[in-house]
């Protein structure tokens, strides 16, 4: 099984010392783009507000070479940044299922993943656990992320539909009140 092409649109809005995207690029695990128009045209954009979860129904497109595109920006500027990217690409927005971050900034806050954790989760869900391990190797928290989330990741990998992942995550995390 080939690696998923990983790309990151980097907007230089966060502390460079804490930037996991740059470390991924140095390790050869992702390509960074500083302009939206240089990002891949085909694939999935990780968007926490997408409303459609990344899952097994997306694997056929990934197997045909579609990319996973992450956005490295400040959480405070997420919405306008996402709007700009979605207007200028044909990427399909996808949300990730809940897992716990192990990075020191957001440790234990469900869904508040670093860019590296998000990209590794994508690879793991798509059955590319070795790629996920390589993505996380440069980080002190990398091994802990996979250990902390071993059960949910294993369950997400067993799911046959994206909706099944949505339902399965509530066996690990509290469902929000509507």
Stated pTM of the model? 0.90
Residue ranges of the domains in the chain? 6-169
Q: Is 173 exposed, middle or buried (0-12, 13-18, 19+ CB in 10 A)?
A: middle
The whole-angstrom separation of Cα 12 and Cα 15 is 8
- What is the residue-level pLDDT of the chain in tens, covering all 178 positions? 799 999 998 876 666 667 888 889 999 999 999 877 788 878 999 988 888 999 999 999 999 999 999 987 666 666 766 777 777 778 899 999 999 999 988 888 888 899 999 999 999 999 999 999 999 999 999 999 999 999 999 999 999 999 999 999 999 988 877 6
Cα atoms in the 13 Å half-sphere on the side-chain side of 104 = 6
């Amino acid at each position: 099984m080939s690696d998923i092409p990983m790309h990151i649109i980097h907007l230089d809005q966060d502390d460079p010392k804490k930037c996991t995207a740059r470390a991924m690029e140095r390790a050869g695990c992702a390509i960074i783009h500083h302009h939206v128009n240089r990002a891949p045209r085909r694939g999935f954009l990780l968007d926490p507000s997408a409303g459609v979860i990344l899952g097994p129904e997306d694997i056929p497109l990934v197997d045909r070479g579609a990319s996973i595109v992450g956005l490295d920006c400040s959480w405070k500027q997420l919405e306008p940044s996402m709007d700009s990217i979605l207007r200028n690409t044909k990427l399909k927005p996808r949300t990730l299922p809940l897992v716990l971050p192990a990075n020191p900034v957001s440790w234990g806050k469900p869904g508040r993943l670093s860019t590296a954790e998000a990209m590794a989760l994508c690879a793991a869900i798509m059955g590319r656990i070795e790629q996920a391990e390589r993505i996380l190797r440069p980080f002190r928290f990398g091994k802990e992320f996979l250990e902390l989330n071993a059960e949910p990741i294993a369950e997400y990998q067993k799911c046959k539909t994206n909706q099944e992942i949505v339902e399965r995550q509530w066996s690990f995390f509290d469902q929000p009140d509507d």
